[in-house]
Structure 1
Amino acid sequence: MMGTIGIAVLGTGRMAHVYGPKINAHPGLRLEVVYNPRMSSAENAAARYGGRAMDDLGAVLGDPRVDAVVIATPTNTHLEYIDKAARAGKPIYCEKPLDHSLERVEQALTTLKTHPVPFMLGFNRRFDPDNLALRNAVQTGEIGRLTMVMSWSREPSPPPIGYVRASGGYFVDATIHDIDLLCWIAGEHPVEVQAAGSCMFDPEIGAQGDFDLTMTTLKMPSGALAHINNSRACSYGFDQRLEAFGDKGMVQTLNHRDDNLVRWNDRCTVARAPLRHFFLERYDQSFYNALDEFHAALTSGRAPSATAQDGQAALAIALACAKSAKTGQAVTPDYT
C-alpha cells in the first residue's frame, strides 16, 4: 500500500476512543470512517475524532477509500466482522481476545485461510517500550538462560458486574494479556498450567462463579516457569510489573508514576504517592506502537507480528487456567 492508509474503525466504545486519536496521530494512517449500526453513536464519535460516520457495514467495506479496518467492537462480535472484512479483502486489526470460544476462534482462522488478508491481533502490551526492552534483554542472552518470568497485573478496582458477566471469566478477560506477554518473552508455550483463584474484593463477582484474585503458574517445555499474579482490586493503583530471572542475572520493569521523586524525611523513607494510572494511561504509547506495527506490515508486505494463531494459543492457555482453578488440578492446554 502506498500513501496514507484509510482506516475504518468498527465500533464506538472505549477502545474505539483509544484508537481514534492514535490513528489521527500517525502520519501513515487516516481515519476515514467511524462505523456503528446506531448512526447517532457513529456521529458522536466522528465529531470527536473525525472521519465519516456510517451505519451501513456493506457500504463501509465497499468504500475504496477504506483500505483497512480496526475492529473495536465487543468480543462476541469479532467473528462476524472478521468474516465480512476478510471477504471484502480488507486488512484487519482486531482487538483482543479474538473470541471467548476456541471453536469460534477456529472459525475465524478458517475464514482468514479462505480469504487471506493481513491480520493483526491487538496484543498491545507487546509494544510497550519497557516490555519490549525486557524481552530484548532475554532474547539477546543478557540474563543467560531464562529460568523464571513473572508478571504482576493488578487493577485499581473491580469492573461493573455487567462487564464481568460478559467478560468470559477473569482468566480469559485479564490473565490472557499476561499469558501472551510471558509466552512472547519466553518464546514458548506451556506444556502444563496450574492456577488458583478466589474472590476477596467483590462478592458479586463470586456470585457469578468468577474470581477477582488469581495466581497462575505456566510450565514451559524448556523447564522455565512463568508466574502470573492478578487482582481485580489494588488500593495503591494500577500495578504493572515484569521480572525475568536467568542463570546470569535479572531484569525488571517498574510501575510508571506521575512523580518519580524518592523522598526521605522524618515521616517516611522512599515514600511516593499511589499509582494514578489505569491501562489507558499506562499503556498509552503501546496502542500507538501497535498501530505503527500494523502500518509497517501493510506497507512492507510482511505479516503483522501479533497473529490470530497467537490469539488462539493465548485463549487455549487461559481456558486451561480457568479449568485448573475450578478443579485444583494441573491442566494441559488444548492447542489443537
Structure 2
Amino acid sequence: MTTQLGIALLGAGRMAHVYGPKINAHPGLRLEVVYNHRIASAQRAVDLYGGRATEDLEDALKDPAVDAVVIATPTDTHVDYIETVARAGKPIYCEKPLDQTLDRVDRALTALEAHPVPFMLGFNRRFDPDNGALRTAVQNGDIGRLTMLMSWSREPAPPPIEYVRASGGYFVDATIHDIDLLCWIAGERPVEVHASGSCVFNPEIGAEGDFDLTMTTFRMPSGALVHINNSRACAYGFDQRLEAFGDDGMLQTINHRDDPLIRWDGRRTEAREPLKHFFLERYDQSFYNALDEFHRAIIEDRQPSATAQHGRDALAIALACQTSAKTRQFVCPDYGT
C-alpha cells in the first residue's frame, strides 16, 4: 500500500463536513468517494471537497482507489456500516459513539473480530495537543501518584430538542467524551460511578427525561477519584478545562481564546475576548491529528490507539452514569466478559 490512502467518506452531514476538509489537508489522504443515500447531499460535499458522489455503498467499497473508509453518519447507522465495511476488508475510522446500546456495540466488536481490519473510533479529544501534553506529564510522573482528575465541559447553548431526542441522553452524547479522555489520562477505568443530573436551562430537555446539567464522580481501582462537570449552557462560551492533582503537584489545561494575551491597562485587567465558540473551533486541530493517527496506524500496519473496545468501555460507563443519575445510586459499569 502506498503512503497516500484513498478515502471513502460515508455521510454528508455535519461531521462529514468536519472530516472533508481535514482529509484534503492531510498529505497522506485523498478523498476519492463521498457516499450518501441521498445523492444530492453527497454531490454537495463533492462540490466542496472533491472526489465523486455515489448513493451505492457497494460501488464505493469496490472502488480500487478506496483504501480506507471514514464513517461520519448518524450514530444509529454506525454498526451496520462497520459490519459492511469490515466484510469488504477496508480499514475503518468511525465517529463516536459506536452506538447507543451495548448489544449493538457487541455486534460491531464481533464483526471486527471476524474481519480484523484496522479500526479507529473518533474520540478526537485524545488528540488535542493540550490534553495530550497533560496525559504525557501524568504518565511521566510529573505530579507523582495521580489522586484526583477533573474536567469541566460546558457548552455555549442547549442543542435543538430534535437533536436531544435522538442523542441517547446527555451522558451518552456528550459526557462520553470526558469519560474516554479521563480514563485514557488515568490509564484505568472506574469500578463504580455516581452521577447527578438536573434540568435548569431548557425545560423541553427535562420533558424528554434528559438533563442539561450533570456532575459525575468515578472511583478508580487505584483509589484515584475523577470528577466530570457538564453543562448544556455557558454564558461565556465553550468551557473546556482539565486538572490533574497528585502527591507532588497539580497540572491544568486552560481555555482557548482567539486572543491568548492577558491584557492589563487603564480599562481592564483580564482578557475580555470570548472563549472558542464550540467544539468545531476549540478542537479543530484534534480532528486532523486523529486522522493522522489513523493514517500512521495503517501505514505502520498496527491497530490505531483509540479502539472499538475503548468505545465499548466508554459507553458502558456512560450508561452506568445515566442509570446512577436516574436511580441516585452508585453503579458498577457493565464491561462485559
Question: TM-score normalised by the shorter chain: which range applies?
Answer: over 0.9
| Offset, 1:157 | 0.2
Matched to 1:102, the amino acid is L
Match of 1:95?
A: 95
- Provide the secondary structure at the position in 2 that maps to 1:270: coil
| Offset, 1:270 | 2.1
Match of 1:40?
A: 40
Cα deviations by residue, 1:249-282 (Å, 9 ceiling, x for unpaired): 1111100001122233455432422214210011
Instruction: Please list, as runs of the form range in 1=range in 2, the aligned pairs for 1:65-214 lying within 5 A after superposition.
Output: 65-214=65-214
| Offset, 1:63 | 1.0
Matched to 1:129, the amino acid is P
Q: Distance in 2 between matches of 1:286 and 1:137?
A: 19
1:64 equivalent in alignment to 2:64: yes
- Contact 2:276 2:282 (C-alpha < 8 Å) held by counterparts: no
Q: Distance in 2 between matches of 1:193 and 1:271?
A: 37
Matched to 2:238, the amino acid is F
Identity between Structure 1 and Structure 2 (%): 77
Superposition TM-score, scaled by structure 2 size:
0.98
The range that moved more, 183-192 or 255-264, is 255-264
Match of 1:231?
A: 231
Matched to 1:37, the amino acid is H
Runs of 4+ in 1 over 6 A off after TM superposition: none
Match of 2:285?
A: 285
Q: Distance in 2 between matches of 1:3 and 1:238?
A: 37
Matched to 1:319, the amino acid is L
Cα deviations by residue, 1:185-209 (Å, 9 ceiling, x for unpaired): 0000000000000001001000100
Match of 1:317?
A: 317
| Offset, 1:116 | 1.1
Matched to 1:193, the amino acid is V
- Provide the secondary structure at the position in 1 that maps to 2:237: coil
Cα deviations by residue, 1:308-328 (Å, 9 ceiling, x for unpaired): 000000000000000000000
Cα deviations by residue, 1:18-59 (Å, 9 ceiling, x for unpaired): 100101111111000011011100100000011111110011
- Contact 1:261 1:272 (C-alpha < 8 Å) held by counterparts: no
| Offset, 1:115 | 1.1
Matched to 1:330, the amino acid is F
- Contact 1:128 1:283 (C-alpha < 8 Å) held by counterparts: yes
The range that moved more, 131-140 or 1-10, is 1-10
- Contact 2:256 2:282 (C-alpha < 8 Å) held by counterparts: yes
Matched to 1:253, the amino acid is T
Cα deviations by residue, 1:85-108 (Å, 9 ceiling, x for unpaired): 001001100000000000000000
- Provide the secondary structure at the position in 2 that maps to 1:280: helix
CA RMSD of aligned residues (A): 0.9
Q: Distance in 1 between matches of 2:100 and 2:69?
A: 21
Matched to 2:263, the amino acid is R
Matched to 1:245, the amino acid is F
- Contact 2:199 2:210 (C-alpha < 8 Å) held by counterparts: yes
Q: Distance in 1 between matches of 2:13 and 2:303?
A: 27
- Contact 2:256 2:276 (C-alpha < 8 Å) held by counterparts: no
How many pairs align? 336
Structure 1: which 5+ residue stretches go unaligned?
Answer: none
Superposition TM-score, scaled by structure 1 size:
0.99
Matched to 1:13, the amino acid is G
| Offset, 1:75 | 0.2
Q: Distance in 2 between matches of 1:161 and 1:189?
A: 32
- Contact 1:218 1:227 (C-alpha < 8 Å) held by counterparts: yes
**Counterparts in 2 of 1:22 and 1:271: CA distance versus 1, 3 Å:** closer
- Provide the secondary structure at the position in 2 that maps to 1:15: helix
Q: Distance in 2 between matches of 1:305 and 1:276?
A: 27
- Contact 2:76 2:99 (C-alpha < 8 Å) held by counterparts: yes
Q: Distance in 2 between matches of 1:138 and 1:247?
A: 11
Q: Distance in 2 between matches of 1:270 and 1:289?
A: 31
Match of 1:264?
A: 264
Q: Distance in 2 between matches of 1:315 and 1:63?
A: 33
- Provide the secondary structure at the position in 2 that maps to 1:69: strand
Q: Distance in 1 between matches of 2:217 and 2:36?
A: 40
